[in-house]
């Protein structure tokens, strides 16, 4: 069973990949792929779209790794890439002309299989349990920034802290959540 490397290892992979180490880039992409796949599945709600978003995200990551500013969390940046890929996909699908009803998927095709529903339920329960185990200050910042998507200045204002303090708290909250999710039961 594959284990996720600690964040320091991700930083090392990023540094090595930026310096031209193809193996490090491959390892970084392989490490992030399951996370991007799950995130894409939640955003797109269809496996085909999620696969495309995953591919687009990992391609953008490999092409623009030099643009990554390390003051932000790598996973936050990757999620932003995935959100952009999903938005581009939605715009592309919305603008595509429908010549016939053959282009429209059957309602049964859009319904997740029992296995997909169970996997999503398990992921959701694990995430809810991990978030519930966090201190209130971590839950608040995760809710404002990651669930509601509020801008940093607005979230900081809601919490009555500076933007720098918000960023620090958000980083600690994400690290704590990552640790909760990676702990064996």
CATH number of 112-185: 1.10.10.10
Task: Write down the pLDDT at residue 104.
Answer: 39
Distance of CA 48 to the CA centre of its chain: 17
pLDDT at 6 over 80: no
Q: Domain locations in the chain?
A: 1-93, 112-185
Q: Check residue 171 and give its pLDDT.
A: 95
Check residues 1 and 59 and name the one with the higher pLDDT: 59
Rounded to the nearest 5°, which phi and psi values hold at 2? -75, 140
Mean pLDDT score, 151-169: 90
**How far apart, in whole angstroms, are the C-alpha atoms of residue 120 and residue 115?**
9
Write down the residue that tokens 């303090």 correspond to: 165
> At 69, phi and psi to the nearest 5?
-95, 115
> What pLDDT does residue 45 have?
66
Retrieve residue 74's tokens: 């790598």
CA dihedral 80, 81, 84, 85 (to 10 degrees): -140
Mean pLDDT of 58-67: 88
pLDDT in tens, 111-153: 667 887 788 788 888 888 888 889 888 988 988 888 778 889 8
pLDDT at residue 48 in the model:
75
**Identical topology for domains 1-93 and 112-185:** no
Question: 23 or 2: whose pLDDT is higher?
Answer: 23
Alpha helices per DSSP H over the chain: 7-18, 22-44, 47-64, 74-95, 107-110, 114-132, 136-142, 152-159, 163-182
DSSP state of 161: S
C-alpha span between 80 and 83 (Å, rounded): 5
Looking at 1.10.1740.10, 1.10.3720.10, 3.30.2350.10, 3.30.1600.10, the CATH number of the domain 1-93 comes to 1.10.1740.10
Q: Are 144 and 155 in contact (CB under 8 A)?
A: yes
């Amino acid at each position: 069973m594959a284990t996720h490397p600690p964040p320091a290892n991700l930083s090392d992979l990023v540094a090595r990949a930026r310096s031209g180490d193809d193996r490090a880039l491959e390892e970084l992409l392989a490490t992030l792929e399951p996370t991007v796949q799950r995130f894409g599945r939640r955003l797109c709600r269809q496996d085909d779209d999620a696969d495309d978003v995953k591919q687009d995200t990992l391609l953008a990551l490999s092409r623009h790794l030099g643009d990554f500013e390390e003051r932000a969390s790598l996973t936050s940046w990757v999620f932003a890439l995935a959100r952009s890929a999903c938005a581009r996909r939605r715009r592309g699908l919305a603008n595509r002309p429908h010549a016939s009803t053959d282009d429209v998927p059957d309602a049964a095709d859009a319904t997740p299989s029992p296995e997909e529903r169970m996997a999503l339920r398990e992921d959701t329960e694990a995430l809810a349990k991990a978030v519930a185990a966090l201190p209130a200050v971590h839950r608040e910042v995760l809710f404002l920034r990651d669930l509601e998507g509020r801008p940093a200045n607005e979230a900081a204002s809601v919490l009555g802290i500076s933007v720098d303090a918000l960023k620090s708290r958000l980083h600690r909250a994400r690290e704590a959540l990552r640790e909760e999710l990676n702990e064996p039961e």
